[in-house]
Amino acid sequence: MTIPSPLLEAHRLGKHYDGFTLSGVDLRVGPGEVVGFVGRNGAGKTTTIKALLGLIDPDEGDGAVLGTPIREMSRKAGTATKQCIGVVFDTLAYPDAVRVRDIAGVMRRCYRDWDDAAFDGLMRSFGIGPRMTVGELSRGMGMKLSLACALAHAPRLLVLDEATAGLDPMARDEALDLLRGFVEDGSRGVLMSSHITSDLDRIADRVVCIDAGRIVFDRPKDEITDMMGVARCRARDLDSVLGSGLCDGPSGPLVLRREYGVDVAVPDRFAFAGRFPDIPCDHMTIDDYMHFVLEGGSR
Amino acid sequence: MIRAFLLDWMMIRSRAGLMAGMMTLICLWLTFQMRAFPGTYAAAIFMAYPMIAVSLGSYDEARGWSAVRLTLPVSRRDVVAGRYLLMGALALEGVAVAGAVTAAVLAADAVWRAAARDSFLPPELTAVGMPQATAVAACLTLLVTSVMTGIVTPLNFRFGATKVTMILPYVLLLGVLGGFALLGDAGAGILAALPGLFDWLATASGALTACGVLLVATAAVMAVSAACSMAVYDRRQM
């Protein structure tokens, strides 16, 4: 069985700034995948995305977006590739005086496959009128406009950098439904950087975490949320729990000491529940797993 | 290039529209205030061209637009070429507004005189040599404003408008001091030659030659500026 070509890939990507270094970043988005990209503020998420889109030149490594080398993305070779990519950043970049219909007019001239009907439909469902100016839009409505612009030209890849920030819960549900529909046909993909890990819990296929410029984990989301658990132990139970062998992950046991007790990451919460029925073991969320990996210790 | 031009145009469209209206009123007022057309063209070109063109740099920096723009199907070269195309269009807009005001004033006067009335125009406006003076003034203004935007635009592409605003006074100071240093003792000679120059410019052939030289110089300035902009923007990290 042939493995389909990735829509986006990065190999050993690196970039040096004063006070920050991105190093050895490997990232991949395959067809039909939603890849969640998480990390603390300043961890390197936006730097990685900018390097992938050709906005900055990496100092090390390489990558490709829809087959185009990332170093060519902002040059002539990249313009055809960008016809098939939709990008949403966390702010709406247009001046306040520009109207929604003006943006649509220019996008129609930029994108070969621009679909007015799709854009108008999205605008209607978002409650944004064509005569509204950017200055009249709330932050959430601005994000919706950016999302509509990204979706309305039949892209193959979406890159979202904190795109759901500022959306109310109902609007985030709408946006997630759109993204789910976007990847349904199995040929398109999404790279979604977000601090709202509950959104990724619901939609991501894989989660990649970056910290201090390095990838710290890259795991299928279901492995984290469906299989793993958080064992809420008392201090006196810790030795027996760690000694059971049920807490050994890829990088050893992960333990977080709390005021009230000790949380232990458990790779298989069903096996753990069978062995320790008296110790509460909750679902692991992406947020929980990030805490364990970034802040946890081995005891 | 056209996509990049349209993106830039979208950013300034409302402002350019308002400016066209204001320019028309100011040109009309200047025509009668100065009793001459050259100032009208100079003002119109200055209002349309460098004032808006230089402000495009600040739009680039606002809200991360320069990064967002490069995620659209345009290349860095397209962005630079589109910018210079827009600046050319703005210069033409200035000339067009001044031309429209000139035509409207002269046409209104012709209609007025056709009703067997005396001309309401100040006599200086229809003096001999006014068309030559107007053409040379317009071309000279194009050159001067092109030097201004030709210096600022590559700096905007390299450093961003915020930093350029801080360093521009020093660049201007260096330019003025450099100019005086280059002129040296030639300044007195240049001043002495001016009356003869003006007499030559008042002739049709003189004005035509001067306009040709000024337009070629303008094109050369913008070509060098565009090449510098392409080189620096190609390496700019967003």
Supply the mean pLDDT for chain A.
Answer: 92
Phi, psi angle pair for A39, to nearest 5°: 165, 165
Question: How is residue B223 written in tokens?
Answer: 């070509």
How far apart are alpha carbons A286 and A225 in whole angstroms?
A: 7
The pLDDT-based confidence of A107 (bands split at 50, 70, 90) is: very high
Looking at per-residue pLDDT, the higher value among B111 and B176 belongs to B111
Supply the mean pLDDT for chain B.
Answer: 85
Of residues A155, A177, A160, the one with CA closest to residue A35: A160
Question: pLDDT for B132-152, tens place per residue?
Answer: 888 888 999 999 999 989 998
Coil/strand/helix, residue A200:
helix
What single DSSP character describes residue A118?
H
Chain A residues within 8 A of B76 when measuring between CB atoms: 74-75
Amino acid B147 reads: V
Interfacial A residues in 76-135 facing B (CB < 8 Å): 76, 78-80, 82-83, 85, 87, 89, 91-95, 97-98, 102-103, 105-106, 109-111
- B158 contacts chain A (CB < 8 A): no
How far apart are alpha carbons A222 and A285 in whole angstroms?
A: 10
Chain B residues within 8 A of A95 when measuring between CB atoms: 11, 59, 62
Summary count for chain B: helices (H), strands (E): 9, 0
What single DSSP character describes residue A297?
B
pTM to 2 decimal places: 0.87
All residues at 6 or more sequence positions from B18 whose CB lies less than 8 Å from its CB, including other chains: none
Whether pLDDT at B124 is above 80:
no
Q: Give me the count of residues in chain A.
A: 299
- B68 contacts chain A (CB < 8 A): yes
The pLDDT-based confidence of B188 (bands split at 50, 70, 90) is: low
Of residues A258, A257, A256, A253, the one with CA closest to residue A242: A253
The pLDDT-based confidence of A13 (bands split at 50, 70, 90) is: very high
Task: Evaluate whether A63 touches A49 at the Cβ level (below 8 Å).
Answer: no
Number of neighbouring beta carbons within 10 Å of residue A53: 23
Of residues A95, A146, A104, A101, the one with CA closest to residue B59: A95
What single DSSP character describes residue A224?
I
Number of neighbouring beta carbons within 10 Å of residue B126: 12
Range of weakest confidence among A111-125, A165-179, A213-227: A165-179
Residue from the list A56, A92, A95 with its beta carbon closest to the beta carbon of B238: A56
- Show the CA angle centred on residue A131, arms to residues A129 and A136, nearest 5°: 80
ipTM of the complex: 0.89
A8-17 and A60-65 beta bridge pairing: antiparallel
Summary count for chain A: helices (H), strands (E): 11, 14
- Region A78-95: mean pLDDT is 92
Residue spans of the domains in chain B: they are 2-235
Phi, psi angle pair for B111, to nearest 5°: -65, -40
Whether pLDDT at B198 is above 80:
no
Q: Which residue of B has its CA nearest to A46?
A: B238
- B77 contacts chain A (CB < 8 A): yes
Task: Evaluate whether A117 touches A46 at the Cβ level (below 8 Å).
Answer: no
Rounded alpha-carbon distances, angstroms, from residue B218 to A21, A67, B125, B158: 45, 42, 27, 22
Side-chain half-sphere CA neighbours of A69 within 13 A: 8
What confidence score (pLDDT) does residue A225 get? 93
How far apart are alpha carbons B135 and B132 in whole angstroms?
A: 5
Residue showing tokens 């739009």: B59
- B65 contacts chain A (CB < 8 A): yes
How far apart are alpha carbons A47 and A90 in whole angstroms?
A: 14
Å between A106 CA and nearest CA of chain B: 7
Question: pLDDT for A255-285, tens place per residue?
Answer: 998 888 899 999 999 999 999 999 999 999 9
Side-chain half-sphere CA neighbours of A145 within 13 A: 27
Task: Evaluate whether A275 touches A246 at the Cβ level (below 8 Å).
Answer: yes
How far apart are alpha carbons B150 and B152 in whole angstroms?
A: 6
Coil/strand/helix, residue B226:
helix
Coil/strand/helix, residue B119:
coil
Task: Evaluate whether B214 touches B143 at the Cβ level (below 8 Å).
Answer: yes
Chain A residues within 8 A of B235 when measuring between CB atoms: 57
Chain A residues within 8 A of B234 when measuring between CB atoms: 75
Q: Which residue of B has its CA nearest to A103?
A: B10
Question: How is residue B126 written in tokens?
Answer: 């229809």
How far apart are alpha carbons B67 and A56 in whole angstroms?
A: 10
Task: Evaluate whether B91 touches B142 at the Cβ level (below 8 Å).
Answer: yes
